[in-house]
C-alpha cells in the first residue's frame, strides 16, 4: 500500500472555510486512542475498469493515497503534534474519490482530538467505510495511431486520432494549444520506463479550444513525423493533452497531485484518468 503523503499545512475543515482550531469538541467526552488515526475502505469504477489508482484525498488535512489493484485504500492521519500550530484537530471532513473523467464521489469522516472517531459519519465501528464508493464515467477517450507501428526510417506523417464521447449527458473539454479544431499536443510515454516525450502541433501556441462533447463521438487529430519527434525504438502510450471542466472540484484537490498537473508537463501524467487505445511502436 502506498504511504499517505502529507501535502500542506493543516488549516481548513472540508468546505467550511473555518479554521479547524475553531471547532471545539462537539462530540462529547469519548476517549480517542492514538490507534484510531487510520481508516480504510474501497472504491470502484462502475464500468468495471481497473480500480487501481483512484485518488483518495482528505480535504482540510490535505493528505492522499491511491487505491490498490482491488480498489482498497488506507488513510492515516499525521501525529497530533504535526496537525497544525494549534495542535490536534477536531471536525467533520470530506474524503474525496477522484478520477478525472468520472464523477467525483465523497464520504464524511469525523476527527476528534487528532484521531478518527469511529461509528460516526460514513465510518463504521471498525474504522472502515460503511460501503464502497462507486464512480460513474462521464467521458470516454479512445486514441488511435495511424499507422500503429513504424520503422525508424519511416518518413510519412503519423496520425493521432483522439475520439471523445460523453457517456452520461455532455462534457466540457478544453483543448490547450489547439489550432484549427485540431489536437494541440500529445504525450508519448515509453513503456517500461519513465521517459516521456511531448509533441506540440504548433510549438508555443497560446491558444485553446473549448468544446461541449455529446454522446456522438467527436474526433480531434494531430499529425507528426519522426523527423519532428525522433522517438527511440520502443513501445509507447500516446496520451492526448486535454483538460476537463465537467464538474466543480474542491479547492486543493488538483494541486495535491503536483504544481504542473494541468500544464504541458510530465506532471500531467499524474492526473488519474481512464483512457483506451493509444498504443504506438517504433520498431527496433
pLDDT tens, position by position, 102-130: 999 999 999 999 999 999 999 999 999 99
Verify that 177 and 274 share a domain, yes or no: yes
The answer to whether residues 120 and 165 belong to one domain is no
Residue ranges of the chain with per-residue pLDDT less than 50: 1-34
Look up the CATH number of the domain holding residue 202.
Answer: 2.60.40
Residue 72 is predicted with a pLDDT of 98
Q: What is the pLDDT of residue 35?
A: 64
Q: Please return the burial class of 50, using the count of CB atoms within 10 Å of its CB with bins 0-12, 13-18 and 19+.
A: exposed
Residues comprising the chain, all counted: 284
Closest CA to 77 of 112, 37, 117: 37
Residue 280's pLDDT is what? 98
10 Å Cβ neighbour count for 266? 16
User: Domain boundary at 78, 105, 135, which?
Assistant: 135
Same domain? 219 vs 274: yes
Residue position matching grid coordinates 513504424: 150
Query: Are both 86 and 181 inside the same structural domain?
Result: no
Q: Classify residue 180 as left (phi > 0), alpha (psi -120 to 50) or beta.
A: left
Domain end (from 113, 135, 157): 135
Is the domain of 93 the same as that of 171?
no
Please state, in angstroms and as integers, the Cα–Cα distance from residue 90 to each residue in 9, 110, 260, 263, 277, following that order.
Answer: 15, 8, 32, 35, 46
Residue numbers of the domain that contains 146 = 139-282
Among left, alpha and beta (phi > 0; psi -120 to 50; other), residue 100 is alpha
Say which residue the cell 475502505 belongs to. 41
Question: 205 and 255 share a domain?
Answer: yes
| Total domains present in the chain | 2
Amino acid at each position: 500500500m502506498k504511504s499517505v503523503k502529507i501535502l500542506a499545512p493543516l488549516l481548513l475543515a472540508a468546505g467550511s472555510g473555518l479554521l479547524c482550531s475553531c471547532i471545539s469538541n462537539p462530540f462529547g467526552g469519548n476517549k480517542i486512542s492514538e490507534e484510531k488515526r487510520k481508516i480504510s475502505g474501497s472504491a470502484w469504477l462502475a464500468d468495471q475498469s481497473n480500480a487501481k489508482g483512484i485518488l483518495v484525498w482528505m480535504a482540510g488535512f490535505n493528505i492522499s493515497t491511491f487505491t490498490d489493484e482491488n480498489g482498497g485504500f488506507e488513510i492515516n492521519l499525521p501525529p497530533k503534534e504535526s496537525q497544525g500550530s494549534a495542535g490536534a484537530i477536531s471536525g467533520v471532513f470530506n474524503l474525496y474519490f477522484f478520477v478525472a473523467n468520472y464523477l467525483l464521489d465523497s464520504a464524511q469522516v469525523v476527527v476528534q482530538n487528532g484521531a478518527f472517531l469511529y461509528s460516526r459519519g460514513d465510518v463504521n465501528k471498525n474504522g472502515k467505510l460503511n460501503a464502497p464508493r462507486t464512480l460513474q464515467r462521464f467521458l470516454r477517450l479512445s486514441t488511435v495511431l495511424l499507422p500503429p507501428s513504424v520503422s525508424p526510417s519511416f518518413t510519412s506523417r503519423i496520425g493521432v486520432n483522439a475520439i471523445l464521447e460523453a457517456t452520461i449527458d455532455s462534457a466540457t473539454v478544453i483543448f490547450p494549444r489547439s489550432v484549427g479544431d485540431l489536437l494541440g499536443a500529445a504525450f508519448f510515454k515509453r513503456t517500461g520506463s519513465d521517459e516521456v516525450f511531448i509533441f506540440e502541433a504548433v510549438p508555443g501556441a497560446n491558444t485553446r479550444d473549448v468544446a461541449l462533447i455529446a454522446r456522438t463521438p467527436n474526433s480531434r487529430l494531430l499529425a507528426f513525423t519522426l523527423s519532428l519527434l525522433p522517438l527511440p525504438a520502443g513501445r509507447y502510450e500516446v496520451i492526448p493533452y486535454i483538460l476537463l471542466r465537467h464538474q466543480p472540484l474542491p479547492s486543493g484537490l488538483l494541486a495535491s497531485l503536483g504544481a504542473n498537473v494541468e500544464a504541458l508537463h510530465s506532471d500531467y501524467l499524474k492526473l488519474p484518468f481512464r483512457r483506451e487505445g493509444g498504443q504506438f511502436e517504433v520498431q527496433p
